[in-house]
Structure 1
Amino acid sequence: MKPLLSLLLIGLVLASCGTQPQEQKEEEGKKTDTKYQENWESLSAHNEAPEWFSDAKFGIYFHWGVYSVPAYSSEWYPYHMYRDGKVKDYHIKTYGPLSEFNYHDFVPMFKGSKFDAEDWAQLFMDAGAKFAGPCSQHHDGFAMWDSEVNPWNSVDKGPHKDITGLMAKAIKDRNMKFISTFHHARNLQRHGGDPDKFDTYHSHFAHVPGTATASTDKEIAKMYGNIPAGEFNEYWFAQLKEVIDQYSPDIIWFDVWLRMIPLEYRQKFAAYYLNEAKKKNQDVIIAYKQAALPKSVGVLDIEQGGKKDLSESVWLTDITLSNKSWSYIEGQTYKTPKMVVRNMIDVWSKNGVVLLNVSPTADGVINQEQRSTLKRIGEWMKKYAEAVYETRPYLIKGFGNSKVEEGKHGGQSATQKYTAKDARFLQSKDGKFLYLFVLGEPKPGSVISTKELGVHKYYPEAGIKKITLMGSDTECKWGFGDINFELTVPDAEMDDIANVFRMELN
């Protein structure tokens, strides 16, 4: 009887193992030691949004490069200077005809003499960022790192400094995560030899005979993307591999044109990055736009905006501190701390993370206007850190009457105008606290009233023990009307950006 009983017990154990919940199998799949293969099924075993990313909430990067030298119009200066319009007219008037002065002639003028990686990293950290890094290569083909495959790099030319390497060290030394962004998928000239397509939108540099964009010199042709598509695809991957091998970024972020890179190269990149990260015990992120990657492989980024409602999956938005351009230009103006922080709170309430861009001058100066705004953002972030970092969305995003403005790249605008009549929620990971963010400066004695926290809707199941105004720890009066939850604003000093009420649950 004993052997039979043992066999029965073994059978029960095996049966229970075969019926484990799908969620458990998926989690175990993400922890597998199996090498990632170059296909979406294998790559989807990767945890596309690790917990540290949801905890971080806020990162900073910068558009800084050769395009910062003319400081005119935008970082798309090289695109427009070879096409009819105001930028081309300005270029010819200021620097001479295109046959004599091309985009690569700006490279020796890009000196970055005042660049200070330690100062920048500390500035970003003090602003409250938990991850930071450079735009490692924009559409213009200039690499901001010590490259062996790209002759147009910041060590061999221009500043003669390893910008990406110096920033990686300074950022990681401060226990921040490191992001490296890539926009170089757009660098290839995609005219296919057809003169009618020499200025196609999907080529950053128009092919203009008589200028450097049409040069057959191997080095010059590389910068302008005037090389065969097959060669370019290998070049695209080789540059990513260099940055992965040399700097081990925690996030690699891609701009829109990633989808124009053949599928096999996107998969080749993802497999290489994730396998290298596994060797280094890194939980890394691949950020993408639109439909360039499956959502099971990367984190979706929405440019200059965000989702309109609460999202089940974690997402990212990249936004500017400036009003006119991603790069520094003469006459640039900047958003106020109120505008930036209030819109960030809205993003967080919907399960989003914010990547804020700053724009240094060509000589490597982040000007005082940007520094002052970052300082004020940092003060606010420090004051309300408990309610921001390591928190999660609530059952609903919040309430209010702000009219949603459409974003240019999907979702809503990143410049929504919020007031004290708008509010958003976040909750602590342990579920013990609910945080109510009022996106303005409510008047003491006024009543914040909402049916969204009514007992019939989204009032916490555990109930509320007490409510305090963060920053003063002043306890607040609260209760219920016939329908609405009501909170009386205490007689205490209010923050002019946004105020947070901590709700301690039973």
Structure 2
Amino acid sequence: MKSTYLTLFTALLLSLPGYSQQHAEQNHTKYVWPTDALVKQKLDQWQSVKFGLLMHWGTYSERGIVESWSLCPEDEGWCERKGPTADNWYEYKKGYEALQTTFNPVKFNPDRWADAAQKAGMKYVIFTTKHHDGFCMFDTRETDYKITSSKTPFSTNPRSNVTKEILQAFRGQNFMVGTYFSKPDWHNEHYWKPYFPPKDRNVNYDPKKYPAEWTKFKDFTYNQIQELMTDYGKVDILWLDGGWVRPFSTIDSTISWQRTIPFNQDIDMARIAGMARQKQPGLLVVDRTVTGEFENYVTPEQQIPDHYMPIPWETCLTMGDSWSYIPKENFKSARKLVQTLVDVVAKNGNMLLNIAPGPDGEWHEEAYQRLAQIGSWLQVNGESIYGTKPLAPYRQNKWAFTRNGNVTYASYLPAESETQLPAQVTLPLMPTKTLTLLGSKQPLKWQKSGATMTVTVPDKVRQQLAGQPAWVFKLS
């Protein structure tokens, strides 16, 4: 089984653009199961909730550009600079960092977000406390490059410590809460040392040659994570991005993007995780793409494996086209998002859906509409999602299978042109006493035919449940 899913998953991902590939092309056979009883308990809880919210938000929303990456001097599409200073990297960086002095999201209202996410059926949240650009969306004592600095207009707002406000609002809706934190920091002078021009996303000096500089950066990282684990209430997940910051010994030379990492960038995850779990017992640590004891679940980005995976995993994907706010977004349909959730859960994963707040501190209204539509479907069909386990054959043609105890759920994912269930459907033969469709109390008739069962769906039921993104048969 392991060799099969690895081969299928890797074959799919090798054809992807590099931006998402760096978080997907990974040898999952090396996953290390946690041994800490509290971590295992938290991991079980996380695997049962299935559906979460990710939010990328920072000063970059003012320009409606990609988060952080335009600062990165790499010749890649997602790093492209635009605007009057685009031809001069130093001037561009100066202007980008000056966005701090105009950032003022006066419509910030995390309670509205938490309420909408709860009604959508989401159960956990991950918020970007700091992306690669180094701008902190929390009240850190380690730098003045932060939303609560007097340089930032929003600092006078009583809710200026947005990380604290967001985590409180979502905990108030019984969410598990997590902090996204970028290990690389392109603003910090001990990562991109001012003496040297940066060449790419990596540290711009050899930490082995300048150990005192690297020690200062390690301490800076440790101290910021300690703040997040100490001053912000209960935290369930520490979600670390920037997988090129890693021990040289963990680089997998069979993976293309990892072969480009020039230096040992070991930030001492054992020290960080030990401190974090002392502050937050049972904390899940997600050191993305750094396979080992500090990657409690894996995180394919903008992609879904084409097969069941027996390890904990989460696909993180955007509701629209972009991780960060853009003025005109192309949102996926509710039908597509629901079907993606069903597909992910049947393969043993969670779905983390990104919505990006704008410079005024508000989501696109269309994002609220999508969440309401997803919530309507989950209100009827959520029992086939939450707390379930995948069931072989997992995904087969238009079918997705889950179970909860002695109850089996077979979800039919229609094609775009299908607005009603077929009058007859064929399922793999499964033990059942009663067979119904979620949303209808009428028992359905079925006949055994070899290794399959043919189910008849009455016209009245087909009309009653018309137009759904997926239909769920309940066998109990």
TM over 0.5: yes
Shift of 1:97: 8.5
Shift of 1:377: 1.0
Structure 1 pair 470/100, CA: closer, same or farther in 2 (3 Å)? Answer: closer
Identity of aligned residues (%): 22
Cα deviation per residue 1:55-99 (whole Å; 9 max; x = unaligned)? Answer: 110110211101111113555233369999994342427999817
The 3-state SS of whatever aligns with 2:447 is strand
The aligned counterpart of 2:142 is 149
The aligned counterpart of 2:409 is 435
Shift of 1:352: 0.5
The aligned counterpart of 1:166 is 165
The aligned counterpart of 2:394 is 397
**In 2, Cα distance between equivalents of 1:190 and 1:97:** 16
Deviates most, 259-268 or 124-133 = 259-268
The aligned counterpart of 1:233 is 218
User: Aligned runs of 1:202-351 on 2, under 5 Å?
Assistant: 202=202, 228-247=213-232, 248-257=234-243, 259-260=245-246, 262-263=265-266, 265-278=268-281, 283-290=282-289, 292-294=290-292, 298-323=296-321, 325-351=322-348
Cα deviation per residue 1:155-177 (whole Å; 9 max; x = unaligned)? Answer: 12432200110011111112111
The 3-state SS of whatever aligns with 1:301 is coil
Contact 1:145 1:155 in 2 (8 A): yes
Amino acid at match of 1:481: S
TM-score by length of 2: 0.77
The 3-state SS of whatever aligns with 2:326 is coil
Shift of 1:485: 2.4
Structure 1 pair 53/260, CA: closer, same or farther in 2 (3 Å)? Answer: same
Contact 2:132 2:242 in 1 (8 A): no
Amino acid at match of 2:202: H
The aligned counterpart of 2:36 is 45
Shift of 1:359: 0.9
Structure 1 pair 147/486, CA: closer, same or farther in 2 (3 Å)? Answer: same
The 3-state SS of whatever aligns with 1:464 is coil
Instruction: Give the paired residue count.
Output: 405
**In 2, Cα distance between equivalents of 1:181 and 1:100:** 23
Shift of 1:146: 1.3
The aligned counterpart of 1:135 is 128
Shift of 1:370: 1.0
**In 2, Cα distance between equivalents of 1:85 and 1:376:** 31
Structure 1 pair 358/191, CA: closer, same or farther in 2 (3 Å)? Answer: closer
**In 1, Cα distance between equivalents of 2:129 and 2:181:** 6
The 3-state SS of whatever aligns with 2:434 is strand
Which one of 413, 418, 424 corresponds to residue 447 of structure 1? 424
Shift of 1:257: 2.2
Structure 1 pair 443/78, CA: closer, same or farther in 2 (3 Å)? Answer: same
Contact 1:289 1:302 in 2 (8 A): no
Structure 1 pair 50/60, CA: closer, same or farther in 2 (3 Å)? Answer: same
Amino acid at match of 1:245: T
Which one of 425, 443, 449 corresponds to residue 401 of structure 2? 425
Gaps of 5+ in 1: 1-39, 208-226, 401-421
Which one of 481, 489, 497 corresponds to residue 449 of structure 2? 481
Higher relative contact order by CA 8 Å / sep ≥ 6: 1 or 2? 2
Contact 2:62 2:99 in 1 (8 A): yes
**In 1, Cα distance between equivalents of 2:267 and 2:133:** 24
Contact 2:239 2:288 in 1 (8 A): no
Contact 2:285 2:294 in 1 (8 A): no
Amino acid at match of 2:216: E
Cα deviation per residue 1:90-142 (whole Å; 9 max; x = unaligned)? Answer: 24279998179522111122111110121111111111111114211100101
The 3-state SS of whatever aligns with 1:382 is helix
**In 1, Cα distance between equivalents of 2:44 and 2:389:** 11
Structure 1 pair 91/115, CA: closer, same or farther in 2 (3 Å)? Answer: farther
Amino acid at match of 1:168: L
Shift of 1:263: 4.3
Confirm or deny that 1:464 pairs with 2:432: yes
Which one of 361, 366, 382 corresponds to residue 364 of structure 1? 361
Structure 1 pair 82/477, CA: closer, same or farther in 2 (3 Å)? Answer: closer
Structure 1 pair 486/378, CA: closer, same or farther in 2 (3 Å)? Answer: same
The 3-state SS of whatever aligns with 2:436 is strand
The aligned counterpart of 1:415 is none
Contact 2:269 2:294 in 1 (8 A): no
Report the RMSD for the aligned CA atoms in angstroms.
Answer: 3.2
Contact 1:144 1:162 in 2 (8 A): yes
The 3-state SS of whatever aligns with 2:122 is coil
Shift of 1:378: 1.3
Amino acid at match of 2:229: I
**In 2, Cα distance between equivalents of 1:61 and 1:85:** 20
Structure 1 pair 296/179, CA: closer, same or farther in 2 (3 Å)? Answer: closer
Amino acid at match of 1:267: A
The aligned counterpart of 1:198 is 198
**In 2, Cα distance between equivalents of 1:102 and 1:270:** 35
Gaps of 5+ in 2: 1-30, 206-211, 248-264
The aligned counterpart of 1:120 is 113
Structure 1 pair 75/263, CA: closer, same or farther in 2 (3 Å)? Answer: closer
The aligned counterpart of 1:213 is none
**In 2, Cα distance between equivalents of 1:347 and 1:384:** 15
The aligned counterpart of 2:475 is 503
**In 2, Cα distance between equivalents of 1:59 and 1:501:** 24
Cα deviation per residue 1:152-199 (whole Å; 9 max; x = unaligned)? Answer: 12212432200110011111112111111112425367678996x732
The aligned counterpart of 1:90 is 83
Amino acid at match of 1:173: G
Amino acid at match of 2:243: W
**In 2, Cα distance between equivalents of 1:202 and 1:50:** 31
Which one of 381, 385, 388 corresponds to residue 384 of structure 1? 381
The 3-state SS of whatever aligns with 1:356 is strand
